[in-house]
């Protein structure tokens, strides 16, 4: 049987890879991908904790399901906004989103 | 057999859903193209939402109840907060009239009402949640459509950029929040708010989870150091949406933070831990936002920093007490809800003036307001009332709401915090008066031309002015809120 620590370490690495990507990536789409990585890490966390730590109920699984659905909706809205920006700027690099500042 | 009558407990949510569906149908029937859009314009949504608000204005019973196996936990205070949010949305609809009547917006006016009401529905669920899943769904239902609202002006680049900045940080914060919730789940084995407290009182896992959760909520309430999206989003979004964002969205998130902390995290040492965290967050929010507000030249950015510092005061209400005091009063919650009510009137009033000036002249910079008193004296006067109330000058409601917040925090033992907040009130007085000075004293060669505002905007301004003037005088409001708060904690 796989120990819970191994899977939690994987999810923690995914989470921090996502955070690192969020802060260092230049393309807004890559930033979006990093966020998806973070959300997937949390989904993994919930499923694993439910499967190996608190086996009584199914709360973790349900949370995972809802969280996947909601993050899909969020990505859809985010990509729609990126498309709108691309139409006006012909570019979606984060550096170019600099009209509003200070 | 399932007992379906428990759905009737959720009549506030169901009523709002009925309003949304009705508006859907009306949008389909009456708003086919921009030429025939006049049929369906502001009056219907305002009337429907007004009916809903009137029916659910005050709580019917003084007992909390649960539905959906405890996932939905409703207290009498929730009804009051929902009514407050309803009134805020109503004012938003009223002031949106002129903006939505523009040719490019007339086609999508139905979407504006429906999307706004969906965010309101999300806030309803978030407020009445008893479980982290319900809370999370409500939070996302409140924030995803909000992004669509922020980038509502499709052909204006600033609006899209504001939307991009908002959604990237909203997604980031909800990922942090979810990770925190998963750690809380690991530490306690339950996601129900009232079952979180057993054995694991001071485990590191729970602390990590709580701090990530607080970071996620900090983004939603826009507290320093999680405030970086605020100014850009507020400036880029349509002014109507900025008003909605700064009052309704922020106020509901602040109340939810109080509810979650009160329901789930009051045991053992954990309470001290989040109090220490919030202590520094409040000081940073109020002080930094005040310092940044002084140097702004765009009025919407200025209001954004003002809103960050007001959020600091709202969270100060959370410090004031998540439990009933020794004498049975619930000062913290009462003060927070009263502050929310007054803040709604004052901030919405200010945004209604900003919006009507923008719609009629296209001007948004602070120096454009030079000489406003000469051309539009009534508007300048109303703006002054609202700004004085935001600053907390005595005859207006803002003074009393700030006073109650400070009193609650002082009684809870945070004397240093109250002192710092008081000093900041004086700083904030300076920059609010800058606007007043621009309107009354500074001369301008090209002042905003004299105009007559439309009836809807006048109604919005009347509601806000009544709130600013009357809430300070009517002491029974505070007493009534306190009696409700006692049975809600």
- Secondary structure (H, E, C), B52-111: HHHHCCCCCCCCCEEEHHHCEEECHHHHHHHHHHHHHHHHHHHHHHHHHCCHHHHCCHHH
Displacement of CA B151 from its chain's centroid (Å): 19
- Residue B178: per-residue pLDDT: 94
Question: For A24-47, what is the mean pLDDT?
Answer: 93
Residue extents of the structural domains in chain A: 4-92
Is B477 within 8 Å of B471 (Cβ atoms)?
yes
CATH architecture for segment(s) A4-92: Orthogonal Bundle (1.10)
Looking at residue B39, its pLDDT comes to: 56
B235 to chain A, any CB pair closer than 8 A? The answer is yes
Check if the beta carbon of residue B206 is closer than 8 Å to that of residue B270.
yes
Nearest to B164 among A15, A50, A85 (CB): A85
Residues ≥6 apart with Cβ < 8 Å to B3: none
pLDDT digits (tens, 9 = 90+) for B386-430: 999 999 888 888 999 999 999 888 888 888 999 999 999 999 999
Between B26 and B329, where is the model more confident?
B26
The alpha-carbon gap from A84 to the nearest alpha carbon of chain B, in Å, equals 7
More confident residue, B452 or B119: B119
Residue B74, beta-bridge partner list: B65
Contact at CB, B172 and A63, closer than 8 angstroms:
no
Q: Is the pLDDT of residue B442 over 90?
A: no
Interval A55-75 mean pLDDT: 91
From B151, B179, B181, residue closest to A41, measured CB to CB: B179
The full length of chain B comes to: 489
> Residue B372: is its pLDDT beyond 60?
yes
Where do the structural domains in chain B lie, given as residue ranges?
A: 12-488
pLDDT of residue B198: 55
pLDDT cut 90: percent of chain B above it:
52
**Which contacts (CB < 8 Å, 24+ apart) does range B135-141 have?**
B135/B256, B135/B260, B136/A63, B136/A66, B136/A67, B136/A70, B136/B174, B136/B177, B136/B178, B136/B181, B137/A66, B137/A70, B139/B174, B139/B177, B139/B220, B139/B253, B139/B256, B140/A70, B140/A73, B140/A74, B140/B174
The span from the CA of B405 to the CA of B339, in Å, is 7
Helix (H, G, I), strand (E, B), or coil: what is residue B189? coil
Q: Kindly report whether the peptide bond that precedes residue B480 is cis, defined as omega within 30 degrees of 0.
A: no
Please determine, for residue B273, whether its predicted confidence score (pLDDT) is greater than 90.
no
Residue A5 confidence class, pLDDT cut points 50, 70, 90: confident
A4 to chain B: which residues are within 8 Å by CB? none
Q: Summarize the confidence of residues B361-374 as an average pLDDT.
A: 88
pLDDT score of B328 more than 80:
no
Position B82 pLDDT exceeds 80: yes
List C-alpha distances in Å: B458 to A93, B105, B244, B248, B454. 43, 21, 17, 20, 6
**For residue B35, what are the contacts with CB-CB under 8 A and spacing of at least 6?**
none
Tokens of B252: 């509901």
Whether the predicted pLDDT of B2 surpasses 70: no
- Asked whether the predicted pLDDT for residue A83 surpasses 90, the reply is yes
Mean pLDDT for B50-79 is 86
- Res. B37: pLDDT tops 50: no
Chain A contact for B168, CB < 8 A?
A: yes
Q: Is pLDDT of B200 > 60?
A: no
Q: Is the CB of A63 less than 8 angstroms away from the CB of B185?
A: yes
**The residue to which tokens 């033992």 are assigned:** B413
Write down the pLDDT at residue B450.
86
Pair of tokens at residue A66: 């809802």
Q: Count A/B contacts: CB-CB distance under 8 Å.
A: 119
Q: State how far residue A58 is from chain B, nearest Cα, in angstroms.
A: 10
Cβ-based neighbours of B332, under 8 Å, separated by 6 or more: B258, B317, B318, B319, B320, B321, B322, B408, B409, B412
Contacts of A61 (CB under 8 A, 6+ apart): A46, A47, A50
């Amino acid at each position: 049987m796989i120990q819970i620590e191994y899977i939690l370490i994987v999810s923690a690495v995914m989470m921090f890879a996502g955070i690192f990507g969020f802060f260092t990536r230049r393309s807004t789409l890559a930033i979006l991908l990093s966020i998806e990585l973070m959300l997937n890490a949390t989904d993994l966390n919930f499923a694993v904790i439910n499967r190996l730590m608190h086996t009584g109920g199914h709360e973790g699984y349900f949370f995972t399901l809802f969280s996947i659905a909601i993050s899909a909706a969020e990505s859809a809205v985010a990509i729609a906004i990126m498309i709108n920006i691309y139409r006006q700027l012909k570019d979606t690099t984060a550096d170019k989103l600099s009209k509003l500042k200070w | 057999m399932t007992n379906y009558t428990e759905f009737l407990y959720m009549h506030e949510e169901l009523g709002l859903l009925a309003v949304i569906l009705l508006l859907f149908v009306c949008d389909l029937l009456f708003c086919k193209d921009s030429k025939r859009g006049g049929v369906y314009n502001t009056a219907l949504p305002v009337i429907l939402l007004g009916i809903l608000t009137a029916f659910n204005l005050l709580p019917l019973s003084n007992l909390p109840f649960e539905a959906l196996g405890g996932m939905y936990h409703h207290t009498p205070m929730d009804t009051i907060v929902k009514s407050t949010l309803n009134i805020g949305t109503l004012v938003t609809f009223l002031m949106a009239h002129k903006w939505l009547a523009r040719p490019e917006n007339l086609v999508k006016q139905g979407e504006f009402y429906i999307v706004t009401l969906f965010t309101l529905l999300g806030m309803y669920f978030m407020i009445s949640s008893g479980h982290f899943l319900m809370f999370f769904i409500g939070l996302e239902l409140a924030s995803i459509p909000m992004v669509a609202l922020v980038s509502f002006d499709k052909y204006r680049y600033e609006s899209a950029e504001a939307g991009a900045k908002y959604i990237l940080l909203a997604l980031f914060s909800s990922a942090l929040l979810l990770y925190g919730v998963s750690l809380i789940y690991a530490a306690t084995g339950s996601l129900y708010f009232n079952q979180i407290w057993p054995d694991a009182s001071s485990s590191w896992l729970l602390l990590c989870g709580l701090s990530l959760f607080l970071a996620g909520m900090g983004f939603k309430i826009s507290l320093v150091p999680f405030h970086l999206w605020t100014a850009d989003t507020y400036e880029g979004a349509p002014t109507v949406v900025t008003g909605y964002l700064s009052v309704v969205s922020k106020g509901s998130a602040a109340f939810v933070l109080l509810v979650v902390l009160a329901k789930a995290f009051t045991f053992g040492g954990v309470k001290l831990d989040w109090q220490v965290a919030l202590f520094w967050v409040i000081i940073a929010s109020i002080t930094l936002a005040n310092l940044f507000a002084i140097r702004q030249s765009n009025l919407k950015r200025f209001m954004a920093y003002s809103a960050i510092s007001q959020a600091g005061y709202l969270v100060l209400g959370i410090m004031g007490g998540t439990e009933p005091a020794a004498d049975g009063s619930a000062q913290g919650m009462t003060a927070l809800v009263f502050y929310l009510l007054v803040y709604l009137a004052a901030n919405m009033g200010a945004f209604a003036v900003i919006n009507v000036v923008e719609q009629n002249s296209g001007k948004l910079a602070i120096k454009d307001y030079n000489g406003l008193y000469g051309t539009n004296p009534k508007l300048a006067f109303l703006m002054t009332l609202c700004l004085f109330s935001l600053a907390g000058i005595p005859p207006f409601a803002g003074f009393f709401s700030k006073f109650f917040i400070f009193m609650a925090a002082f009684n809870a033992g945070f004397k240093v915090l109250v002192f710092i907040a008081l000093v900041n009130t004086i700083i904030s007085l300076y920059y609010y008066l800058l606007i007043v000075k621009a309107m009354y004293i500074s001369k301008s060669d090209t002042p905003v031309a004299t105009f007559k505002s439309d009836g809807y905007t006048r109604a919005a301004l009347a509601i806000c002015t009544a709130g600013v003037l009357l809430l300070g005088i009517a002491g029974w409001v505070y007493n009534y809120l306190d009696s409700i708060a006692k049975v809600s904690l």
